[in-house]
Amino acid sequence: MSRKELSPEEILEGIRDMTIRGAAEIGRQASFAVRLFAEREFDNDRKRYLEKIDEFREQALKTRPTAITLWSGLTKTLSGTDQAKSSKEILELIVENSERFIDLSKKSIDIISEMGARRIPHDAIIMTHCNSSAAVASILKAHEQGKIEMVYATESRPKRQGYITVRQLAEKGVPVTMIVDSAARHHMKLVDMVLVGADTIASNGAVINKIGTSQIALIAHERRVPFIVCAETYKFSPQTFHGHTVKIEERDHSEVIDPKKFPGVKVSNPVFDATPPEYVDAIITEVGIIPPFAAYEIVVHNFGLEMLSSEHMKEGFLNDF
């Protein structure tokens, strides 16, 4: 699906139904959607214009509740607009901010992949879970350097994003084996390193990623296999800095089973889980490889203590996310 052909509302619908997915991608798409909206809805009345944009932002935030990237993309794109003197200035800022955010987001993955490949040993057997563009980019970079012996990729039920991962790797000639999620422990004895992405990193270093990640981290810990997370710094959550917990998205039960075929059966379908920082060996960000406990530093580096302690940040729109 080409982003340019979609309306802002269609982009939000795509994020909601997961035809647009992946934490980084939904951040970029939300940024682009609010830009498209601001261009289409241009209004010389500055106050009314800002209100309309804010309403769209609210709608965008509701599409998927867990990945902080949605919030980060929107916040970075709208940064400074409340200070802008005219509607024209607001639009110019949005366009400039959005282009910068999307560009930096893509560049971050390139930098992470360089560092990630450096950490991957020769003849490496890697395990990955779900489909993370940052983790896949690191594996591909290491493959270019002739370092990958095998990648075990989990299916990642219920949505099976593992299919995307195995295709992306196989297309580039990376040796890859698909396994069902429950086969992770069986294969861990062969693995040199687990490499996954993240949807959100809490300020204590906990990693919120696709459901099942924490089980894999636990198994890796048991086997003393390094568990490495690839995450751009805009995935670090200032909300958790203020004590808000990350909301775990519960998706439709039909993703798990057809309810009509199982009358009387309840279904639980949380799509993310939290891996405690104790099980995370390192987080590869575009500003360097950090221990999970340095997450706080990243949040402060990203927003500054002054902004983090401002009432706007603490009591404003953050609360409803």
Catalytic residues: 130, 199
Bridge partners, residue 227, by sequence = 194
C-alpha span between 183 and 43 (Å, rounded):
56
C-alpha span between 46 and 235 (Å, rounded):
31
φ, ψ of residue 131 to 5 degrees: the values are -135, 105
Residue among 97 and 213 whose Cβ is closer to ligand RI2: 213
Pairing of strands 200-201, 207-210: antiparallel
C-alpha span between 209 and 212 (Å, rounded):
8
Residues that bind ligand RI2 (CB under 6 A): 21-24, 130, 132-134, 161, 196-199, 209-210, 271
Whether residue 101 contacts residue 125, with contact meaning beta carbons closer than 8 Å, is answered with no
CB of 131 to ligand RI2, least distance (A): 6
Residue among 180 and 307 whose Cβ is closer to ligand RI2: 180
Of 123, 147, 116, 87, whose CA–CA distance to 230 is shortest? 116
C-alpha span between 75 and 77 (Å, rounded):
5
Bridge partners, residue 177, by sequence = 152
Residue among 87 and 214 whose Cβ is closer to ligand RI2: 214
CB of 80 to ligand RI2, least distance (A): 25
Residue 304 falls in which region: left (phi positive, over 0), alpha (psi -120 to 50) or beta: left
What are the start-end ranges of the H helices in the chain?
A: 8-17, 23-40, 46-63, 68-78, 87-119, 133-144, 162-171, 184-188, 213-222, 238-241, 295-303, 305-308, 311-315
CB of 138 to ligand RI2, least distance (A): 10
Question: What residue type is 21 in one-letter code?
Answer: R
CB of 133 to ligand RI2, least distance (A): 3
CB of 305 to ligand RI2, least distance (A): 27
Residue among 9 and 255 whose Cβ is closer to ligand RI2: 255
Residue among 139 and 313 whose Cβ is closer to ligand RI2: 139
C-alpha span between 184 and 310 (Å, rounded):
44
Q: What is residue 243's three-state secondary structure?
A: coil
Residue among 54 and 255 whose Cβ is closer to ligand RI2: 255
CB of 270 to ligand RI2, least distance (A): 11
